[in-house]
Amino acid sequence: MCMCAAGYTGTTCGTGACAVDSDCEYGGTCDLTTLMCMCAAGYTGTTCGTGACAVDSDCEYGGTCDLTTLMCMCAAGYTGTTCGTGACAVDSDCEYGGTCDLTTLMCMCAAGYTGTTCGTVACAVDSDCEYGGTCDLTTLMCMCAAGYTGTTCGTGACAVDSDCEYGGTCDLTTLMCMCAAGYTGTTCGTGACAVDSDCEYGGTCDLTTLMCHCAAGYTGTTWLDKRRIFHPNRKDSTVVPEVSSN
- Give the model confidence (pLDDT) of 135-178 as tens digits: 999 999 999 999 999 999 999 999 999 999 999 999 999 999 99
Q: Is the pLDDT of residue 228 over 50?
A: no
Q: Is the pLDDT of residue 7 over 80?
A: yes
Q: Which amino acid is at 38?
A: M
- 45, 26 in Cβ contact below 8 A? no
Overall residue count recorded for the chain in this entry:
246
Question: Residue 116, SS3?
Answer: coil
Q: Is the pLDDT of residue 240 over 60?
A: no
- 73, 82 in Cβ contact below 8 A? no
More confident residue, 222 or 2: 2
- How far is Cα 138 from Cα 121, in angstroms, rounded to an integer? 11
pTM: 0.54
User: Average pLDDT of the chain?
Assistant: 89
Residue 11: CB atoms within 10 Å = 9
| Pairing of the two strands 176-178 and 204-206 | unpaired
**222: pLDDT confidence band, cut at 50, 70 and 90?**
low
Quote the longest CA-to-CA distance of the chain: 141
Domains of the chain: 91-121 (2.10.25), 122-156 (2.10.25)
- 119, 109 in Cβ contact below 8 A? no
